[in-house]
Structure 1
Amino acid sequence: YLGTAVGTAVISSALLSDYQEISTSVRYRLQHHVQDLPDKLVGPICAFWNFSLSPDAGGMWSTTGCSVVTSLPDSTACFCNHTTNFAVLLQVYEMQRNTKEELTLQTLTFIGCGVSFCALIATFILFLAVGVPKSERTTVHKNLIFALAAAEALLMFSELAKTNQVVCFTVTACLHLFFMAAFSWMLVEGLLLWSKVVAVNMSEDRRMKFYYVTGWGLPVVIVGVTLATSFNKYVADNHCWLNVQTNVIWAFVGPVLFILAVNTFVLLRVVMVTVSSARRRSKMLTPNSSLEKQIGIQIWATAKPVLVLLPVLGLTWVCGVLVHLSIVWAYVFIVLNSLQ
């Protein structure tokens, strides 16, 4: 965030009656002057010059009594409940990527989501058609597949939805719900693994009820609370996604970071148990094998659960935290999550 700049002409309005100035409400539209501001522009602010604020400096910009009516890429319409000197201020953010990079990332995301969506649907159909025996694991997999497929289908549709405010708001809420559900079921995948590694005194029926409450109940509560507390600042200005300029984004990022931390701990514990088990089995079956062979067995025992569980537990999403550091991480993030 770099700061706020005057992005339009400055206009004055006065109303006289019997040579006395009286205040009245004013609606105005001003065209943006963005040629001198090459950085990313986000969030126009309707403001007026208040001479009574900071008198030593001759006054300062204030937003009291002024609000944005409509905002277009080239202009903003404002309403102020008094007459004075008006302008539109533009919040200026540092441009992290150029237009070509943004288009490439957008195209890769669309292709990746399309491939992933087809793979998820094919897997879901196979689960139903082949008659995979019913178990905790298959039930959890089905719910994770459904949540991810729904989220990625909505993500591909979201660019078309941003032209309609109501549809965009609905898509954003559904995206929030299904991506949150996907991560909640990834957490359930981790809890299921933990129950296989560590003895848990809970029946399968009770576990499944707990898993459903975690997988679907938790996302519904998070989305519901977020909508109730931040309805007017829920959606971003230029995308059908949560507003990253406010604390609303933490209604997604916060739970995701918690889930990734839990699943990282689960993965480490599973790897430790797997390596320990592989070492004991190797000594029992081939007690006279060479040191190199013993090391090879342990490396494979470590690599196998990591390769299998990284996508299942959603740990490839850790790359998302690093996206702002470099464009390379953005490409890695898209590719890894398209393969999930």
Structure 2
Amino acid sequence: MKGMSLNKAGKEPDLFKGEKGAFKKGVKGHSTAMERGKSKGVLELALCLALLGLGAGEITRDLDLEMCGTWIHGKSRNLWFDVRRGCENVTIAANETTLSVQGKITADCENSSTIPLPGTLRDGESPFCVFWDPLLDRLQVDIDGGIHTLCRTSALQESCCASLSLGVNINPSGRYGIKDGTQKGDVITKNLQEYYAFFGEKKNCKKDFCTDLPSADLVEQAALRSGVLGQVDLPCAQISTHKLEKGFQGLNVTMQAPQTTPLENRLSVLVCLPPSLVSSEGSEATAVLTYYTKITLFQGWVLADGRGPADGRGGARLLNGVLGISVENRVVSNLADPVKFVFRHEPVAKNESTRCVFWDTGKDPGKVTWRSEGCDTHRREEKETECHCDHLTYFAVLVELNPGTTVDHLEALTFITCAGCAVSLCSCVALIILLTRALRRLRVNDKSSIPIHRSLAAALVLLYTLFVLTGVLANVASEPLCRVVGAALHYALLSSFSWMAIEVFSAFWLVHLLFEVPPSLLRLNLVGFGLPAVLVIVLVCINDVYGTQRIVPSDDITNPYKMCWIKDSSWGRPIHFITNVSFLVFVVFSGLIMLVLVLRKVQTLEEWRQNRISFLSIWGLSLLFGCTWGLGLLNFGPLSSVALFFFCIINSLQGFFLMVRFILLDWMNKRGSVMDSSSSGSTQHHKLQEQEKI
């Protein structure tokens, strides 16, 4: 071995001349044993697609062939290679001056050359690795951290030489060669060897790649490493690679299922990349879009709430087709302009709900968690679903077989509520004017309840106005504006409840004389308008509380009603029950208790026995005390639909009823029906009558 010289580039070094016959004989003798020794658990092509790292002195790859060792050499060093088309063998050998790679292994590449390497002052050791990527037809050698590419790819290969197995390794005749040889991290031998031989098999790379693919992201990594722009079809996915340069103005790309699918049944997705993907200061990058039709790559998935496809709790399913979007070496989130894509999918029944979801890759990589935060479903049709998302990852359309709570007769209820709110809005404005006039003509001591009534009317004006507008704004406004409107609507509701509670305690004060002096108007305003404002401001600071809320009709769950309100999220649900439902329960039950106490106090009076006075008192106080909102708590069982209709009718017309109450009491007052009896009643009765009169 010592003293061998290197011939001209492309010729065999002396290393292979003297041993060529023995090598071929040894190969033949070992062929049977080699076949028996092949590893059956090695993934044929999937391992060749781990991301290629070209950091300084560091390379992290898991390729189909990864043979490493330490080259024991003399003072001068050279890398010699001669690779040809075919699928026979590749040999890796070393002597005093030359590390050699030779064989028939490539699909398209043919290359033969000599690369001089920096020499040493004395004999030394050089760590090296030889990497072979059959899908990319790429052969590389890493010596001392310097990477030399012997063959480059121009496309993903249809036919390649893969599943390389170790053949023979020959002991050296001198003190130079390769020691500590490993294959994919497994030790071959620590002894010094002259050369190693590996034998491959002819494969359909693309087909086998999809068959044995362990994870979806390896497809994108293969596309990035190939450097090929445009579209590439695989049996399991279609890849579209694009260069994003400075001044990027956006891009529309149509992805389709494999060509083997009939055209009329072919799934597809239209992707619209926004200009905000490339900032004005950002450098150019490569974007990879992958449309996966093999959703088994995403097996074992769960939803963010823990539900899976077969967990017995209603379940859900992914429609065929998952879209992956990534930009090389970038994590893209919180885009100013969302990425838009339209899935064309199999027909979805009307009793099934679709929504856009994304794979939360920050979770356990062994479990695919689908979430919907940051993704909005803008359009649902039988065969199409449009999604807008503010980040990049994997996206899909989720079909929920049991979409959860639905509302019967939603269209009719919405129309009734909006019409009633419009009537009440006008009525409350008129009521505020009438109360202001009444306030001017009454004695100073009799004015305590009028400001409370007027404040309740003002809170209802805000509530009805925002409720009428919220459905329109949810469909045309941006999500930030919808969050503002949702917070304002929540404030108006809490303020209305607060003033109803103040009405309760005001009546309690009038009847039982617990306080000689009524609370000041400033304090009442701080409670009625101030406390709800503080609470809503705190909730605004919590992310994911307000935004677009979707109410699903039972007759067509693919077309939900949108409104700006508290979101159905991990934060929104408990906040809704704590601030709305619990407060409503408190107001309703305290109002009922107060109503009973008031009735017990005055039911012995002669005037109370008049039917119209009895009815008007009960009806008017129940409106003021918010008792009618208790119908919302009866939304269960067989009478739920009836209760819901009564709830929408009565509470949407509450402002109108309050105005009617005021007009009737004022008319009765002028007729003397109430004022005549006030002179003979007690002080408590007199104050109650003043409360009712106003």
TM-score (normalizing by structure 2): 0.39
Residue pair 2:471, 2:563 contacting (<8 A) in 1 also: yes
Mapping of 1:1-340 within 5 angstroms? 2-7=314-319, 9-10=321-322, 29=341, 31=343, 33=345, 35-39=347-351, 41=353, 44-47=356-359, 60-63=367-370, 68-73=374-379, 74-77=385-388, 79-80=391-392, 87-91=396-400, 92-94=402-404, 96-97=406-407, 101-130=409-438, 131-133=440-442, 135-162=447-474, 163-165=476-478, 166-201=480-515, 203-204=517-518, 206-229=519-542, 231-237=543-549, 238-245=562-569, 246-247=572-573, 248-250=575-577, 251-275=579-603, 278=604, 281=605, 297=609, 303-323=615-635, 325=637, 326-340=640-654
Which whole-Å deviations, capped at 9, do the CAs of 1:76-100 have from their partners, x for residues lacking one? 255456xxx76343555246346xx
C-alpha spacing 1:267/1:5, structure 2 compared with 1 (3 Å)? farther
Residue pair 2:320, 2:345 contacting (<8 A) in 1 also: yes
Which whole-Å deviations, capped at 9, do the CAs of 1:212-257 have from their partners, x for residues lacking one? 222112211221222123x323223431122245323223222222
What's the secondary structure of 1:96's corresponding residue?
A: coil
How big is the shift at 1:14? Answer: 10
Which whole-Å deviations, capped at 9, do the CAs of 1:22-44 have from their partners, x for residues lacking one? 99768884627584353463753
- Taking the aligned partners of 1:305 and 1:96, their CA distance within structure 2 comes to 37
- Taking the aligned partners of 2:416 and 2:424, their CA distance within structure 1 comes to 12
- Taking the aligned partners of 1:36 and 1:49, their CA distance within structure 2 comes to 27
Residue pair 2:482, 2:548 contacting (<8 A) in 1 also: no
Supply the AA of the counterpart residue of 2:450: T
C-alpha spacing 1:127/1:24, structure 2 compared with 1 (3 Å)? closer
C-alpha spacing 1:32/1:312, structure 2 compared with 1 (3 Å)? farther
Instruction: Choose between structure 1 and 2: higher strand proportion.
Output: 2
Residue pair 1:260, 1:318 contacting (<8 A) in 2 also: yes
Instruction: Give 5+ residue unaligned stretches, structure 2.
Output: 1-312, 333-338, 380-384, 550-561, 655-694
- Taking the aligned partners of 1:113 and 1:34, their CA distance within structure 2 comes to 41
C-alpha spacing 1:69/1:113, structure 2 compared with 1 (3 Å)? closer
Aligned residues: 305
How big is the shift at 1:125? Answer: 1.2
Residue pair 2:547, 2:566 contacting (<8 A) in 1 also: yes
- Taking the aligned partners of 1:152 and 1:269, their CA distance within structure 2 comes to 31
How big is the shift at 1:314? Answer: 1.1
Which whole-Å deviations, capped at 9, do the CAs of 1:246-277 have from their partners, x for residues lacking one? 323223222222222222221122122222xx
- Taking the aligned partners of 1:256 and 1:170, their CA distance within structure 2 comes to 23
Instruction: Choose between structure 1 and 2: higher helix proportion.
Output: 1
**Greater Rg by CA:** 2
Residue pair 2:359, 2:368 contacting (<8 A) in 1 also: yes
- Taking the aligned partners of 2:546 and 2:477, their CA distance within structure 1 comes to 15
Which whole-Å deviations, capped at 9, do the CAs of 1:155-178 have from their partners, x for residues lacking one? 111122111123322221111111
**RMSD of equivalent CA atoms:** 3.6
C-alpha spacing 1:48/1:96, structure 2 compared with 1 (3 Å)? closer
What's the secondary structure of 1:45's corresponding residue?
A: strand
C-alpha spacing 1:40/1:161, structure 2 compared with 1 (3 Å)? farther
TM-score (normalizing by structure 1): 0.75
User: Which stretch of structure 1 is more off in the superposition, 4-13 or 180-189?
Assistant: 4-13
